[in-house]
Amino acid sequence: MQARESYRFGYLIIRDWLAALPGDIWSIPSALPGWTIADLGAHLAVVAKAAGEITVAPKETKPLTPVTYMRRYEAAAGDIADAARELAGEANGSAHDLLLVLDEYYESALRRLERFGADDPVVLAPRGPIRLGDYLATRAVELAVHSDDLARSVPGIEAPTMPRDVTRLAVRTLLDGLAERVPGRAVEVRVPPFGAVQCIPGQRHTRGTPPNVIETDATTWLRLASGRLTWQDAVADDQVNASGDRADLSMYLPVF
């Protein structure tokens, strides 16, 4: 599945899941401190609006990598939260109104993406210049992480299930981001069946089983990489398998 198709199908799954929620659920606190379900829904609308406004960057513009782009979220966290809450406030807590806005911005984003055809230009996005394909990879991360946020927020309701290709793209993007931030060959991080990278400076390993191996599942990796779960808690709950005296990511997480 192409990145654009992944974006389309991933969004539709979250949108339909939100539409099926009972109306009184929208006002409850989400798994993200200080955010309601309505705030998260509004945030997805704000994100879709931004995707509908990207433009081609001037020639010779140097693009950011996906992880560098995503690490700029932290400095803008306050503005990101304010934009979501403002939109949720304008809808007066109405799920119907928020869904209408979601649909409007999402359709605008799809129309904008279609204009690029098969090209992969450097585009101007909210956090800086980035290749279109890499920008869509960050959208896959956004969809995968927030679908899990929503699922954790209402555990009594069946979780939205992201398409396998969305999860794969999100996992690989964050694995590559870890390798970019902490380059090296001392530790191998595996998230089967989606990918693996070597990272952290140290003795290079070339044959057989690496001496330092970390393995976990996709959901745990997404939570670790996005700061939803600490390394210490993941280890304590046996959510990661770590072997070797250097198999420790506590100093390098979250990825963004």
State the Cα–Cα distance between residues 58 and 179, nearest whole angstrom: 29
Q: How far is CA 78 from CA 46, 81, 137, 156, 174, in A?
A: 14, 5, 23, 30, 23
Domain count, the chain: 2
H-run or E-run covering 227 = none
Give residue 210's pLDDT band: very low, low, confident or very high (50, 70, 90). Answer: confident
Q: What is the pLDDT of residue 205?
A: 55
Residue range 64-91: average pLDDT? 95
Give the CATH number for residue 69.
1.20.120.450
Q: With a cut of 90, say whether residue 77 has pLDDT above it.
A: yes
Out of 6-10, 122-126, 131-135, which region has the weakest mean confidence (pLDDT)? 6-10
Q: State pTM to two decimals.
A: 0.93
Residue range 124-136: average pLDDT? 97
Q: Say yes or no: 122 and 226 in one domain.
A: no
Q: Identify which has the larger pLDDT, 6 or 125.
A: 125
Last residue of a domain, one of 133, 166, 199: 166
Tokens describing residue 225:
């990489």
Q: Say yes or no: 129 and 210 in one domain.
A: no
Q: Of 50, 48, 43, nearest to 85 (Cα)?
A: 43
Give residue 209's pLDDT band: very low, low, confident or very high (50, 70, 90). Answer: low
Q: Say yes or no: 100 and 133 in one domain.
A: yes
Residue range 72-81: average pLDDT? 95
Q: Say yes or no: 127 and 238 in one domain.
A: no
The domain containing residue 219 runs over which residues?
Answer: 182-243
Residue range 146-165: average pLDDT? 95
237 contact partners, CB below 8 Å, separation of at least 6: none
Last residue of a domain, one of 134, 166, 198: 166
Give residue 6's pLDDT band: very low, low, confident or very high (50, 70, 90). Answer: confident
pLDDT tens, position by position, 184-208: 999 999 999 999 999 999 866 556 6
Q: Say yes or no: 161 and 203 in one domain.
A: no
User: Does some domain include residue 141?
Assistant: yes
Last residue of a domain, one of 139, 166, 193: 166
Q: With a cut of 80, say whether residue 232 has pLDDT above it.
A: yes
User: Does some domain include residue 140?
Assistant: yes
